[in-house]
Amino acid sequence: MRRLFLDANVLFTAAHNPKGKAALICELGRAGLWQLITSAYALEEARRNIARKYPHCLEPLENLGAALRLAPEGGSAPCPPPLPDKDCPIYQAALACKAQVLLTGDVRDFGFLMNAPEKAEGLLVQTVAGFLNSLP
């Protein structure tokens, strides 16, 4: 089964827009098409941002979080430069849980790794739209 690691912004978007593509990824994961994984770090970042911007979406985020597998924290894989330090825990957790795909909306920081698994120790980094478009 394909393992998808969800970054904080994907969790945020799924909770805030239940009819969007990120929510569809989560719905299909709950239906068994793939395994959904995140980290406590990503979940907390999403929770902080939802609480600040859309507090009415905290409950959908909590429901989503309950359906996700949590990756181990503290992976030791080196982060590829120029990935910012704040994003290293996301990258390391995705590698530590052996995810095949890291889904993120953070094109600014992860853009150089998008669709380039040879630069990310075999991890495929994609946007939600890119992932959905790549499905057969």
Mean pLDDT by 10 residues, the chain (136 residues): 98 98 98 97 98 98 96 86 95 96 98 98 98 96
- Name the DSSP class of 95: H
> What per-residue confidence (pLDDT) applies to 124?
99
> What per-residue confidence (pLDDT) applies to 40?
96
Distance CA 45, CA 89 (A): 12
Host domain of residue 125:
3-134
> What per-residue confidence (pLDDT) applies to 114?
98
Cis ω before 82 (30° cut-off from 0): yes
The structure tokens 């909770």 sit at: 15
Q: For the whole model, what pTM was predicted?
A: 0.96
> What per-residue confidence (pLDDT) applies to 76?
82
Q: What is the CATH number of the domain that holds 74?
A: 3.40.50.1010
How many Cβ atoms from other residues are within 10 Å of residue 111's Cβ? Answer: 12
Contact 95, 77 (CB under 8 A): yes
Number of structural domains the chain divides into: 1
> What per-residue confidence (pLDDT) applies to 77?
87
